[in-house]
Every structure is written in C-alpha cells, then in structure tokens.
Structure 1
C-alpha cells in the first residue's frame, strides 16, 4: 500500500483534513475521488500547451535564519565582538572570499553568485517569503500570495512524463490559486504498483472514479473535488511515470553518490534527481540555523555539511549539462545580529541578509551588493526579495511583466510588484 500526502497539516475550508492520505492499493485509489480522469487532465494540459519546459528551480530554505556574516559576508577587520570566530578564505574568483568552512565551494565560486545586500525580510520564522516573495499578510483576504511552485503549476503545469510541477518538503501555500495548486509532498514508502495492478488497470479505475463522481464534482462549489482531481492525477503520474518514483527511491542511490553528497546531503541529491525527472520546482528546508546561543559551535557542524552537499549538487548540474536549465537558490528568513551576544550566539536581524544563487544560465562568479563595516545594513546595491523572484521566474521562462493570475475576488494580480530581474545576473 502506498500513502502519499499533499499539503500542510491544517484543514481545508470545508473541514476535510489535509492530513488525509491518498492511497494506491490493489483495489482502489483510496478515498472518494472524482472529476477529471488522468487522461482528461493530460489532454487539457496538452490543449493549453503545458508540460513542454525543462527549466527548473531548486529552492533551499535554511530554516531559522542563517548567519550571513559567518558564511558569505565575513568582516575580518571588524572588532572581535562583531567578526566572530571564522576567517574568510579566497575562492577561484579574485576578490570573492567566503567562510573557511566552505573549502569545496571555494574551488567553484565561478559557478555561483552571492547577494550580500538582500533586504526586506519580514522578520518572521517562516518560509512564506522564500516561497512567495511576500509577507503573509499580503492579500490575506483573498487567500494570500501563492508560492512560486504553485504559480508554476498554474502557468506551466506538470511535465509531459507525469512529473508534478511542484514537489515540496517544506510546505508552500497555493494562496489565492486554491488547493488544486498545492505542492506534492512525498511521505516515503514504495512508489511502485503491486504485481496485480498494471498502469492500464490503474488508469481504468481512475476513469471509473471520474465517471461515478461527475455529478458530485459538478455540484461542488468549494473547489475540494477539483483539488482531489489534481491530487489523483499527480499521484498516478508519480507512480506510473517511473522517473519520479525512481528519484524518490533512496534505494536507487548509488554508494558513490551517497559518499559524494554525504549523509546530510541527501536532500540535495534527491532534488537533483527530481528536476532530472521533470519536476519544475523542488523546495526543501535544510538544517537548523536559529543560533541564539553557541552560534559558532553549531556552524562548525553545519557549514561543512552544507559545503559538501551544495558543492556536489553544483558539480552534478554542471557535469550533466543542466547548469543553464536549473537554478539553485539558498537562503533563509533573515540574517543574524552583527554583535555576538553573551551566549556566543547571534539573534534575529531582518535588516539585511545574504542569498546564494547558481545555474539558470545566469552570470556567475560575482558578489552583488555590500554591507556596512559590521554587516549590519546594506551599503551598496540593496536587493529586494521580489527582485530575486523576478530573476527566478525569468529563468523559468515566465514574463513577470505580462503574466497575471486571477484571485478569489476575480481581480487580476501580477506575480510581483517589482518585476525587473537582477540586472547583474541576466
């Protein structure tokens, strides 16, 4: 029996729990599902020109707020209570220094860019902003702003091979787009049909469910049946496509890959496999970065692991010819205080932070922006979250100057208020 979970723990507006599971077993697609059949959904996608792009985003959220001045914006000339314990090291790009605990990344700085002057953090312990570019309060009455993966699901749809558009291991609200565009959240298990259930029989059963539930779906005004239609399509697509199932199967990982990425780098490897399988947006949270105390002790463990997993990912994307198609972004919800506190930690600091970008055909090997002497404020070239998102959408082939979506009140909404990508990167 396979169990797949979609969405977060909270309930839908009509009381159906998002913790309900979609079950694929020997007899049925679990629960009462209805509406469009798998074939009908694929036909609708094809009619709308969906499923043709191979561009992808890997969005890595460093949960808790990573210490920007101990990773990518070290201040060796600052007083000891500001500069901390770590020292910068040179990279293979002249004048571009990063933390000493990133020795592997230092050898490939020509393959990434660092933004040192990212501003506009809402200061909340939440990944909402790194999913959507907005504050959680924006358009709240209309359902909120959708995550990038949900926007991509709406505008571009899943891949032709059945891969879902949006796979997330750390949530992501569909906002005003509705539950149909929630992320697919794998929950483990064997993603294989049992011996008595072929792909053809599974599709027949999906068709039958669609026929039985057509009346109920047509009467439904909550959108829940449409959401379940999409969940059915994604679940069946994952199981029958093979490629996505293989990407999610840890048993398919070679010992060589496991060794290169490291035990803590599994999420980076899985993300690479998912975008290779056709997923357009993959998001996951990595590590714990809320270092109010013991900041340097914690980072001495965290940074080498991040160095290994992230450098392995960049190497693979380059070696497999994916560096122009796949964009990697690594960031958190805010930076950390310039002054080290009495517990050898750094507290929350939303005034400025750093972001790491790679791939997507962008101009790499550069640092964008700078901060003041203690890394407390943006000094040159402040960059807003929405500018980063405009760049990410551009890399996916989505024109933020033209693309609009309709919210729950029937109003057209641009994807972003700031719609120009970062000029230095494009």
Structure 2
C-alpha cells in the first residue's frame, strides 16, 4: 500500500523541461486544471475581500485599491491586489451550515453528510472527468491538508480509490494544532528502501502471488488494490515524481512564493499542473481548528495568515501567467464559511454562513470584477446570492466538466456531479 504514495528522485531538469512546458501550455488540446487554495476554519470576509471601512463592523483594517479601478480589498493583501485583473470576487455566498465539519464537507462535495452514502470531493470528481488513468502522477493531489473535523471531505466516496488524492504533508493522526513544516511536503516513502535489483525482485514476487490469488476473487476490493499497486509503481519507476522536488527551482522564485509550507505548496501546485495534473489543492492550515477559526484575536491572526497567503497566491498567479498556464488553470480560494460582522468580546469573529465570499481566477473566469453585494454592515446579501451548488457548477464549467453528468453510486443510484438545484454564475464565466 505504501507504493501508492511513493516515488523516486531524479536529477535536475536543466532547460529542456521549461521548453517542453511552454509547448504543452500552447497546445490547444491541453486539458484544463484546477488549483484550490483551501482555507479551513472560515476566513473573515470583511477582513479580506469585502472590507467595510468606517462601519462599526469593519474593524481596524483599511481598504486598499487594486489593479482594477473601483475594486478594494483589505490592506494586508497588497500583492494579491496587484493581480486583481486575473481574479473575480464573489461577495454574495449565502449558505446555512455553520458547523465546521458539515460545512467543509458541503463546500468540498456539494452535499451534506449522509450516513449511508459517501459523496466524492470536488477534486475526485474533476480527476475522474479530466484525468488520465495511465498518468505517472496522481490526478488529484492534496498538499498540506489537516483534515481534522472533515475527514470525509477529502474522500473519493463512491467513485472509489482510483480517484482518491495523494496526500502530501497530511498528518490526520497528529494534534490538529501542529503546524506543518517544510519537510512535511515530501511524499511519503518517496525513495525505495532497498536497491533497485531487490525492489524488482520483490515486484516480481508480488505479481506472482497476485496472479495466483486474483482468479475467482474478482470484485471492487481486488480491483482497487491492484489499481493502487499499479499507480504506485508508475510513480516509483517514472520521472514525474520530480514535480515534488523543488531544489531545481531558482532560489529567488522559491523565496517569492514564501519559504513556508503554504508558499512551497503553491509552487508544487504549479509544477503539478505544468505536468497536466487536473486537480491540486493547497491548504493554509495550522493553529487551532485550521487557523482561520478566529473566535479570538481575529485581527492579529488574519494579518499573520495574510502575510503567508499574499505572496504565495500572487506568485502563483504571476508564475502561471509567465508560463502560459493561467488560461488553462482555474484558481479557487475559499473556506467553509465566513465570520460574523459583529466583533465579539475576545476581539474575534464567530462562524457566519449567511454572507461571505470566495475568489475565482485564471482559466474560464471573466476576471477583474466583483459579483454580488452585501449590506452596509456586511450582515446580509443584497445582490446576486449564491449557494454551494451554484459555486461548484461554476467551477465545473470553468474547467470544462459537465456538472449535470451523472455517476453511479456504490448502490447503483445515479447521482449528478452537482445537485440539480445548481445555477452557474454565468456572469463570472468567460
């Protein structure tokens, strides 16, 4: 089973891969990719992309101009502000689920949890529709995740293990307050434990045992194990695992992204979509309940988180643009809900699904605009309310996935990729 998450190190790429990547990016047949910047805990919309300066609910942060005249965001995102022409802010998300686990599951799958049916997360759905089953790299990679209260939100559900994510830097059994380090971004078991000749002998032995065992035991479990084994071997024996090795990246570029797990995770995400991985997510986590759960000291914590988020996100957009990849890569920034406009006695903001925001950008998105509007104090949506199915259908259309398509569940029930109530935000689609 360790082979399913293993790889081998290779030498530096020199200039040939950059030329290859540029040619691949220009290919009109190139499939699209999606990068999800996941903010667990629920970031404060008023202190990021829907500032309310001068209002009692606005807090101490100033609003700053962006590269798009008339669009202002919070002062601690100055580099992202310069990339606003490549982004679109949806300020009118309105949902009903205020529990972390249930809301995260909802945003990541489009459904609320059910006891007897495990829905697949968005990454699994996109990887099934756009991925290459014979690719060396997994079609869904999750970087720096701390699953915590929503383990099910990372599952491939009824789609099966072929579409489960490769988890990089994920430690679900460790305390949720632990902050991941740079070394956690390594793929587990990336180097074989024995020399290649012995490894090959072990592979042959296992193949022989499987050949004797499999006949008469056909079924999902046997097929899933065999598939995981084959995927692991492709990653071990191929050269694509070099995507996870950042030593060949210029030191200046690595520093631009930020020498922290989130910044380097965003750089890995760029390297993965460069190699046609259809879905990559990078989590900005650490601290109690995922960092953005700012019931206390909201303003100090949001500033500290934005100091990590701002350079990494801006560098990712610029890097994708420079490499000709932005037009085929959709970027999504979101958490599971927002925070209350009211500031509590601990200088914090509490859970608030009534009115909050997400940000979309890159390929398939009509950028440089704001969709929706909240009230003067930020407590209600006054224009263009959007629910989770609307958002997920919009993302699907941006990446070229038919959101009305149906898959069969494990009990043979046809289930749409996105719920039938979905109404894509057509004004945000290019």
Task: Give TM-score scaled by structure 2 length.
Answer: 0.80
Task: Give the Cα–Cα distance (whole angstroms) in 2 for the partners of residues 285 and 121 of structure 1.
Answer: 23
Aligned twin of 2:163 = 181
Task: Give the Cα–Cα distance (whole angstroms) in 1 for the partners of residues 2 and 248 of structure 2.
Answer: 19
In the TM superposition, residue 88 of structure 1 has moved relative to its aligned partner by 0.5
Residues 116-164 of structure 1 show CA distances to partners (whole Å, capped at 9, x for unaligned) of 1112252221332332122123xx42x3211122223333433654221
Question: Which of the residues 119, 122, 135 maps onto 1:148?
Answer: 122
SS of residue paired to 2:137: coil
Aligned twin of 2:359 = 356
Tell me if structure 2 keeps the 8 A contact 1:164–1:237. no
SS of residue paired to 2:100: coil
In the TM superposition, residue 64 of structure 1 has moved relative to its aligned partner by 0.8
1:283 correspondence with 2:281: yes
The farther-off stretch of 303-312 and 278-287 is 278-287
Tell me if structure 1 keeps the 8 A contact 2:62–2:75. yes
Aligned twin of 2:331 = 328
The farther-off stretch of 300-309 and 387-396 is 387-396
Aligned twin of 2:414 = 412
1:101 correspondence with 2:99: no
Tell me if structure 1 keeps the 8 A contact 2:131–2:277. no
In the TM superposition, residue 339 of structure 1 has moved relative to its aligned partner by 0.7
| Two-structure CA RMSD over aligned residues (Å) | 2.7
Tell me if structure 2 keeps the 8 A contact 1:5–1:185. no
Residues 296-326 of structure 1 show CA distances to partners (whole Å, capped at 9, x for unaligned) of 1111211122111000000011111111111
The structure-2 alpha-carbon separation of the partners of 1:416 and 1:161, relative to structure 1 and needing over 3 Å to count, comes to closer
1:123 correspondence with 2:98: yes
1:230 correspondence with 2:212: no
Tell me if structure 2 keeps the 8 A contact 1:150–1:182. yes
The farther-off stretch of 166-175 and 323-332 is 166-175
Residues 73-129 of structure 1 show CA distances to partners (whole Å, capped at 9, x for unaligned) of 0111312xx110101011111110001111111112101011111122522213323
Q: How many residues align?
A: 374
Task: Give the Cα–Cα distance (whole angstroms) in 2 for the partners of residues 393 and 210 of structure 1.
Answer: 39
1:240 correspondence with 2:237: yes
Task: Give TM-score scaled by structure 1 length.
Answer: 0.80
Aligned twin of 2:43 = 66
For CA contacts below 8 A with separation 6 or more, give which structure has more relative contact order. Answer: 2
Aligned twin of 2:175 = none
1:254 correspondence with 2:235: no
Task: Give the Cα–Cα distance (whole angstroms) in 2 for the partners of residues 68 and 369 of structure 1.
Answer: 13
* Structure 2: stretches of 5+ with no match in the other structure: 9-28, 148-153, 170-185, 286-290
Task: Give the Cα–Cα distance (whole angstroms) in 2 for the partners of residues 104 and 410 of structure 1.
Answer: 48
